[in-house]
Amino acid sequence: MSLKGKVAVVTGGSRGIGRAVCLELARQGADIVLCYAGSEDAAQETAQACEALGVRAMARVCNVADSVQVKALMDEAMAAFGRIDILVNNAGITRDGLAMTMKDEAFDAVIDTNLRGTFLCMRAVSRIMMRQKYGRIINLSSVVGLHGNAGQVNYAASKAGVIGMTKSMAKELATRGVTVNAVAPGFIETDMTAAMADAAKAATLSAIPMGRLGAAEDVARAVAFLAGDEAAYITGQVLAVDGGMSM
Ligand code: NAP
Cβ pair 21, 183 in contact under 8 A: no
Q: Is the CB of 34 under 6 A from ligand 1?
A: no
Ligand 1 geometric centre to CA of 231 (Å): 24
Range list of H helices, 96-227: 104-110, 117-132, 143-147, 153-173, 191-194, 198-206, 216-227
Considering the chain, what is the average pLDDT of its residues? 97
Ligand 1 pocket mutation, candidates 19, 40, 93, criterion most atoms within 8 A of CB = 93
Ligand 1 geometric centre to CA of 132 (Å): 29
Q: Is the CB of 92 under 6 A from ligand 1?
A: yes
Q: Is the CB of 90 under 6 A from ligand 1?
A: yes
Going by alpha carbons, the residue nearest to atom 23 of ligand 1 is: 192
Cβ pair 244, 208 in contact under 8 A: yes
- What's the rounded Cα separation, in Å, for the pair 42 and 108? 26
Q: Is the CB of 166 under 6 A from ligand 1?
A: no
Which residue ranges form the domains of the chain, and what is each CATH number? 7-240 (3.40.50.720)
Q: How far is CA 147 from CA 157, 159, 188, 202, 216, in A?
A: 10, 10, 16, 19, 21
- What's the rounded Cα separation, in Å, for the pair 244 and 209? 5
pLDDT tens by residue, 35-74: 999 999 999 999 999 999 999 999 999 999 999 999 999 9
Backbone angles phi and psi of 34, in degrees to 5: -120, 150
Backbone angles phi and psi of 95, in degrees to 5: -140, 80
Range list of H helices, 52-103: 67-81
Q: Is the CB of 191 under 6 A from ligand 1?
A: yes
Report, as residue numbers or ranges, the catalytic residues. Answer: 155
| Structure confidence at residue 196 (pLDDT) | 83
Q: Chain-centre distance of CA 148, in angstroms?
A: 19
| Structure confidence at residue 201 (pLDDT) | 87
| CA angle, residues 119, 121, 31, in degrees to nearest 5 | 150
Where does the pLDDT of residue 197 fall: very low under 50, low under 70, confident under 90, or very high at 90 and above?
A: confident
pLDDT tens by residue, 112-168: 999 999 999 999 999 999 999 999 999 999 999 999 999 999 999 999 999 999 999
Q: Is the CB of 111 under 6 A from ligand 1?
A: no
pLDDT tens by residue, 83-99: 999 999 999 999 999 99
pLDDT tens by residue, 20-31: 999 999 999 999
Judge whether residue 1 has pLDDT over 80: no
Ligand 1 geometric centre to CA of 155 (Å): 12
Ligand 1 geometric centre to CA of 11 (Å): 8
Could you write out the DSSP letters of every residue in 123-156?
A: HHHHHHHHHHT-EEEEEE--HHHHH--TTBHHHH
Which DSSP state fits 175? G
